[in-house]
Structure 1
Amino acid sequence: MGEAAFGAPGIAPTWASSDKDFVTSALGNSRLWVTIGHGIINEVYWPSTGRPQIRDLSFYLIGDGRWIDLKRVRQYELSKPKPYLPLLTIAHTGDDYRLTVEVLPDPLRDVLLLRYEVEGPYRLGIIAAPHLGTSGYDNTAWIEDGEAYAAIDIGAMCLTADVRMDDLSVGYVGASDGWQDLARNGRFTFNFDRAESGNVALSASLADRQGVIALGLAPQAKSARTLARSALAAGYATIRQGFLDEWEAWGSKLTLPSPEPGLASEALMSATVLKCHEDRMYAGALVASMSTPWGNQTNTLGGYHLVWPRDATLAAFALLAANEIADARHILAHMMAVQLPDGHWPQNYFPSGQPFWTGIQLDETGFPILLAAKLREIGEDDAPGVREMVRAAVGSIARHGPSSDQDRWEENPGISAFTVAVVIAALAAAGPWLDDGERDYALDLADDWNERIEQWCYVADTPMAKQAGVAGYYVRIAPPEKDGGVTGNVLLRNRNGQMIEASCLVALDFSWLVRLGLRKADDPRIRDTIKVVDSMLRVETPSGAVYRRYNDDGYGEYDDGRAYDGNGVGRAWPLLTGERGHLALQAGEDPIEYLRTMHRCASPGGLLPEQVWDAEAIPERELFPGRPSGSAMPLIWSHSEFLKLLIARDRGQPVELLDVVRKRYGKRVPKAKRTRWRNETPIATLAAGRTLVIEDRHPFTLRFGWDGWQSVEDLPAEPLPFGLWGVTIAPDSLKGRSALNFTRRYGENWEGRDHTVAIAAKPKPQILHHRKRTT
Structure 2
Amino acid sequence: MNQQHAPGGPGSTATWTSSAKDMVGTAIGQGRVWFTVGYGILNEVYWPSCSTPHIRDLGFIIAGDDFWSEVKRVNQYELTTPSSSLPIPKIVHHHERYRLELEIITDPARDVLLIRYHLEGEGLRLYPLLAPHIGGDGDDNYGSVSPHGLTAHKKGRHLILAAESGFNRASVGYVGSSDGWQDFSQNGYMSWEYQQAGPGNLAMMGELNRNSGVLALAFSDSAQGAATLAASSIAAGYQEARRQYAYLWAAWNETVNFPGLDKLPKNLSDAVRTSIAVIKTHEGRTFPGSLVASLSTPWGDTHKDAGGYHLVWPRDSVEVGFAMLACGLIAEVRALMAYLIAIQQPDGHWMQNNFTDGQPYWQGIQLDEVALPVLFAAKLHEQGLLGEMQGAAIRMARKALAFIAQYGPASPQDRWEENAGINPFTLSVSIAALVAGAKAGFLEEGDKQYALDLADDWNERLESWVYVKDTKLDRELGIDGHYVRLNPNSHSARFGDVMLRNRNNETISTRALLGMEYLYLVRLGLRKATDKRIEDTTKLVDKLLCMQLPAGPYYYRYNEDGYGEHEDGRAFDGSGVGRLWPLLSGERGHYAAACKQDVTPYLNAILASASTGGMLPEQIWDKESIPERGLITGRPSGSAMPLIWAHAELIKLIYVQKTGIPIEQLKSVSGRYGVQPPMARARHWRDSQPCGFVSTTHELWIEAQEPFVLHYGYDNWQDIQEQSSQPLGLGLYGVPLNISVLAGKTLRFTRRFDGRGWEGQDWHVDIKA
Q: TM-score range by the shorter chain?
A: over 0.9
Deviates more, 1:578-587 or 1:704-713: 704-713
Aligned partners of 2:674 and 2:743: how far apart in 1?
36
What one-letter code is carried by the residue in structure 2 that aligns with 1:27?
A: I
Is the 8 Å Cα contact of residues 457 and 682 (structure 2) preserved in structure 1? yes
**Matching residue of 1:587:** 595
Please tell me whether residue 710 in structure 1 is matched to residue 718 in structure 2.
yes
Identify unmatched segments of 5+ residues in structure 1.
Answer: 762-775
Measure how far apart 1:76 and its partner are: 0.9
Is the 8 Å Cα contact of residues 133 and 154 (structure 1) preserved in structure 2? no
**Matching residue of 2:626:** 618
Measure how far apart 1:164 and its partner are: 2.2
Measure how far apart 1:263 and its partner are: 2.4
Instruction: Report the TM-score when normalising by structure 1.
Output: 0.96
**Matching residue of 1:766:** none
Please tell me whether residue 475 in structure 1 is matched to residue 476 in structure 2.
no
Measure how far apart 1:736 and its partner are: 5.3
**Matching residue of 1:424:** 431
Aligned partners of 2:550 and 2:298: how far apart in 1?
23
Please tell me whether residue 270 in structure 1 is matched to residue 278 in structure 2.
no
**Matching residue of 2:456:** 447
Residues 342-357 of structure 1 correspond to what in structure 2 (within 5 A)?
Answer: 342-357=347-362
Aligned partners of 2:698 and 2:20: how far apart in 1?
56
**Matching residue of 2:156:** 154
RMSD: 1.3
Aligned partners of 1:96 and 1:8: how far apart in 2?
35
Is the 8 Å Cα contact of residues 147 and 160 (structure 1) preserved in structure 2? yes
Aligned partners of 2:458 and 2:633: how far apart in 1?
41
SS at match of 2:578: coil
Residues 378-527 of structure 1 correspond to what in structure 2 (within 5 A)?
Answer: 378-382=383-387, 383=389, 384-431=391-438, 432-481=441-490, 486-527=494-535
What one-letter code is carried by the residue in structure 2 that aligns with 1:531?
A: K
Aligned partners of 2:353 and 2:131: how far apart in 1?
28
Is the 8 Å Cα contact of residues 493 and 511 (structure 2) preserved in structure 1? no
**Matching residue of 2:310:** 305
What one-letter code is carried by the residue in structure 1 that aligns with 2:9?
A: A
Measure how far apart 1:540 and its partner are: 2.1
Is the 8 Å Cα contact of residues 484 and 512 (structure 2) preserved in structure 1? yes
**Matching residue of 1:53:** 54
**Matching residue of 1:129:** 131
Aligned partners of 1:241 and 1:669: how far apart in 2?
57
Post-superposition Cα deviations, 1:33-52, rounded to whole Å, max 9, x if no partner, equal 10000000000111111111
Please tell me whether residue 144 in structure 1 is matched to residue 146 in structure 2.
yes
Measure how far apart 1:544 and its partner are: 2.0
Post-superposition Cα deviations, 1:602-649, rounded to whole Å, max 9, x if no partner, equal 111100000000011111111111100000000011111011101111
Aligned partners of 2:7 and 2:478: how far apart in 1?
68
Please tell me whether residue 648 in structure 1 is matched to residue 656 in structure 2.
yes
What one-letter code is carried by the residue in structure 1 that aligns with 2:327?
A: A
Residues 545-560 of structure 1 correspond to what in structure 2 (within 5 A)?
Answer: 545-560=553-568
**Matching residue of 2:106:** 105
SS at match of 1:317: helix
Measure how far apart 1:582 and its partner are: 0.4
Post-superposition Cα deviations, 1:381-428, rounded to whole Å, max 9, x if no partner, equal 341511101111111111111110110011111100000000100011
Post-superposition Cα deviations, 1:552-583, rounded to whole Å, max 9, x if no partner, equal 01000011101110000011100001000001
Aligned partners of 1:319 and 1:218: how far apart in 2?
32
Measure how far apart 1:335 and its partner are: 0.3
Is the 8 Å Cα contact of residues 706 and 737 (structure 1) preserved in structure 2? no
Is the 8 Å Cα contact of residues 146 and 165 (structure 1) preserved in structure 2? no
SS at match of 1:585: helix
**Matching residue of 1:164:** 166
**Matching residue of 1:246:** 248
Is the 8 Å Cα contact of residues 16 and 304 (structure 2) preserved in structure 1? yes
What one-letter code is carried by the residue in structure 2 that aligns with 1:316?
A: G
What one-letter code is carried by the residue in structure 2 that aligns with 1:17?
A: S
**Matching residue of 2:41:** 40
What one-letter code is carried by the residue in structure 1 that aligns with 2:501?
A: R
Measure how far apart 1:737 and its partner are: 5.0
What one-letter code is carried by the residue in structure 2 that aligns with 1:741?
A: R
Q: 2:195 aligns with which of 193, 199, 204?
A: 193
**Matching residue of 1:773:** none
Aligned partners of 2:437 and 2:166: how far apart in 1?
62
**Matching residue of 1:74:** 75
Aligned partners of 1:393 and 1:377: how far apart in 2?
19
SS at match of 1:92: strand
SS at match of 1:487: coil
SS at match of 2:218: strand
**Matching residue of 1:598:** 606
Measure how far apart 1:259 and its partner are: 3.7
Identify unmatched segments of 5+ residues in structure 2.
Answer: none
Measure how far apart 1:486 and its partner are: 4.8
Is the 8 Å Cα contact of residues 465 and 490 (structure 2) preserved in structure 1? no
Post-superposition Cα deviations, 1:714-737, rounded to whole Å, max 9, x if no partner, equal 1111122222110110245x4455
Deviates more, 1:146-155 or 1:208-217: 146-155
SS at match of 1:478: coil
Is the 8 Å Cα contact of residues 166 and 207 (structure 1) preserved in structure 2? yes
What one-letter code is carried by the residue in structure 2 that aligns with 1:395?
A: A
Aligned residues: 759
Aligned partners of 1:576 and 1:617: how far apart in 2?
22
Post-superposition Cα deviations, 1:89-111, rounded to whole Å, max 9, x if no partner, equal 11111223211111010111110
